[in-house]
Structure 1
């Protein structure tokens, strides 16, 4: 892979262009850039009459059960009434990926991915949690991971 940095002080704002031969390489580069830029921002979550501020990079995964969203971070589980779609919009990052109708994960927090039955995958996260990736999202995960 070849990389080149061109500094142009006449630009109104920072601009990054990535030219790749494959979509997989492009997705991986975007994921890395995204991780070092937007993931450092805070996320505000309303939980039981309090507002919690957590860093986006601390989010490992999230799942919805009975209209309740549980966000798993490096240190805690946060329960909120926010929807999974709203959370993904707030995260607004290539690092986070919806992997089923009711779950999303941080691809930077995956320890390993294992095959499951009927074409699904199981992601084992750094906090020990298992996240099921439905067949519908397997190709998207593979693309983001570059496999």
Structure 2
């Protein structure tokens, strides 16, 4: 991507023009970031307390029995948002959906085990092992550059 900045005293406020041949994911991500009014906060409850969770601390987010949970080094939190809402709030350069019921933080992955046929075993930094569903394998391989 090329970035060009022009300084001109004729403009009293910033003006942004984005030129592209087509609407790509990168363009959509830029537009989404530019249109955000407030920071995308994720809060979770544990022990009858609500805490603000830093995206950097999240290891995985998963659905189980109709509830959404976030796992950090501090423990497990219950979230009120749905997975698709969380996916929109999370940085797509750091987080990836690996199944219909789970999102992982790529920065918290210890290693990927590709020896399983048709799926990927994901070993996380906290010792948890999870699996990518077949539907998401090609997306994950693309992210990994394989």
Give the TM-score, by structure 2 length. 0.68
Residue in structure 2 matched with residue 71 of structure 1 by the alignment:
70
Shifted more, 8-17 versus 88-97: the winner is: 8-17
**Whose helix fraction is larger, Structure 1's or Structure 2's?**
1
1:141 to partner: Cα distance: 1.1
Which residue of 1 is the match for residue 34 of structure 2? none
SS of aligned partner of 1:118: coil
How many residues end up aligned between the 2 structures? Answer: 129
Aligned-residue Cα RMSD (Å) equals: 3.4
Q: Which residue of 2 is the match for residue 99 of structure 1?
A: 98
Residues of 2 paired with 1:128 and 1:84: CA distance? 23
Structure 1 position 117, deviation (Å): 3.6
Residue ranges of structure 1 left out of the alignment (5+ in a row): 18-26, 31-39
Match of 2:122, SS?
A: strand
Gaps of 5+ in 2: 20-25, 30-38
Q: Who wins on radius of gyration, i.e. which is larger?
A: 2
Q: 2:94 & 2:101 partners in 1: Cα distance? A: 17
> Following TM superposition, by how much is the alpha carbon of 1:41 offset from its aligned partner in structure 2, in angstroms?
6.9
Q: Secondary structure at the match of 1:72?
A: strand
Name the CA shift for 1:13/1:142 in 2 (closer, same or farther; >3 Å): farther
2:84 is paired with a residue whose SS is: helix
Higher relative contact order (CA 8 A, sep 6+): 1
Report the alpha carbon displacement of residue 115 of structure 1 after superposing the two structures with TM: 2.3
